[in-house]
Amino acid sequence: MLANSLVELDRNHLIHPVASWRGHEQAGMRLLTHGQGAWVRDGEGRELIDGFAGLWCVNAGYGQPSVVEAATRQMTELCYATGYFGLGSEPAVRLAARLAEAAPGDLDHVYFTLGGSDAVDSTIRFVRYYWHARGLPQKQHFISVEQGYHGSSTAGAGLTALSAFHEGFGVPYDWQHRIPTHDLYRNPVGDDPQAVIEASRSALMAKVEDLGGAEHVAAFYVEPIQGSGGILVPPAGWMAAMRELCAELDILFIADEVITAFGRTGPLFACADEGIVPDFITTAKGLTSGYVPMGAVFMSDHVYQVIADGAGQAAVGHGQTYSAHPVSAAVGLAVLDLYQGGLLENGRIMGERLQAGLASLSDHPLVGDVRGRGMLAAIELVTDKKTKARIPAAAQPATRIFDRAWDQGLVLRAFGWGVLGYAPPLCCTTDDIDQIVARTKKVLDLTLDDPDIRAAL
């Protein structure tokens, strides 16, 4: 009864992110009421394993007592402190210092935001300021990768390369450009890693040439694994090759690790796997494991010094009321304790089990590709393994697969073009992982029975 009235209130008043507003009015919301470990409960009392950690963010799992205690303590002691006027709070300083220590190379300076979109947006501003300070303000152009996602702020949405974020919104701007994705499954140059790396290098060089040379290009944005674009894993060495090329061209290299940081692929930062040090890293999500909002921009010492010298005694005019929020920072510290106290290690072990478990479904007639790293994985469905024909739109993969999984007690992400996405909490047990795989098998079998898919086989 209560749930029904909430569904009605939601329909009438709450605007949902990245939703079909009309579709949502018809379908109504699903209520989530509780979470513990890797499990959530819905409004009907159904227990589900959360194979997507909320929105790839609850890396530490739900209901961790130490995180709750840290937030409660901080709210009681000092609920808010601004960073303006040279003020601050202890947890923000301690978190920045611990993160800087853990971050690759000289990424020693941390600017806290409220989430991922404003972390990306902050880098756009910092990048522009950096080139201005270096006396090269004509370096105006920003390049990202097709299928990339870099948030939905006004400027960030133009770096995002997914059409739903562009059409009708007046982006990308004329200073925002893209090169093709490295997608190994559907790449016109094939799936040879070296050929894919070479194609991306050539594409970036050609794009830079088109823009009048590197003296006009400010920055290149990548995700270590493209998330919202379909969980596309570049070949090993791709990140390093692109980083190297940007260094040669004097173009800033930004790794958007909003999804991949904090144990999602294994280490605290996915860049560590590639042995690279970007000029900036953007993070959010796992930073506070979804308990409270927070993002962080990691800035290299070199960039920091140029901006600081450029501004001299003048203020660098960038800031938000809730930057370095003490409660978020206290949560960040508690979550970091969990990661470093064994959770990353558990995530690594569970990640191997997840990848092997999902790979064991490769023989299923609908499975075209299984990919991922650590606790980040995808299954791409096709109706023909040879031609890689996509699931027909008539079969409404995004809603029907999501609903089927839900009915099986599994939360996953179902991408509209027939990709199943996984990003479970790092605290999963072996049984949790086995459940994810077993329930996925059931979902695949049910999907095979879908008349709209049968018709396409």
Sites of contact with ligand PMP (CB under 6 A): 115-117, 120, 149-151, 223, 227-228, 256, 258-259, 284
* Residue whose CB is less far from ligand PMP, 14 or 438: 14
Q: In whole angstroms, give the CA distance from residue 343 to residue 243.
A: 29
* Residue whose CB is less far from ligand PMP, 142 or 435: 142
Find the shortest distance in angstroms from Cβ 114 to ligand PMP. Answer: 8
* Residue whose CB is less far from ligand PMP, 18 or 394: 18
Find the shortest distance in angstroms from Cβ 331 to ligand PMP. Answer: 15
Find the shortest distance in angstroms from Cβ 290 to ligand PMP. Answer: 10
Closest residue by beta carbon to ligand PMP: 116
For residue 397, say if its preceding peptide bond is cis, omega within 30 degrees of 0. Answer: no
Question: How many alpha carbons fall within 13 Å on the CB side of residue 154?
Answer: 1
Contact yes or no for 120/256 (Cβ under 8 A):
yes
Alpha helices, DSSP H, located in 287-425 = 301-311, 326-338, 344-359, 397-407
Question: How many alpha carbons fall within 13 Å on the CB side of residue 168?
Answer: 2
Sheet holding 39-42, edge to edge: 32-36, 39-42, 47-50, 410-411
* Residue whose CB is less far from ligand PMP, 131 or 149: 149
Q: Would you mind telling me the total number of residues written for the chain in this entry?
A: 457
* Residue whose CB is less far from ligand PMP, 67 or 231: 231
Find the shortest distance in angstroms from Cβ 355 to ligand PMP. Answer: 20
* Residue whose CB is less far from ligand PMP, 258 or 329: 258
Find the shortest distance in angstroms from Cβ 255 to ligand PMP. Answer: 10
Q: In whole angstroms, give the CA distance from residue 264 to residue 257.
A: 10
Q: In whole angstroms, give the CA distance from residue 4 to residue 372.
A: 38
* Residue whose CB is less far from ligand PMP, 258 or 327: 258
Find the shortest distance in angstroms from Cβ 228 to ligand PMP. Answer: 5
Find the shortest distance in angstroms from Cβ 292 to ligand PMP. Answer: 12
Q: In whole angstroms, give the CA distance from residue 33 to residue 306.
A: 48
Q: Counting runs of H as helices and runs of E as strands, what totals does the chain give?
A: 16, 16
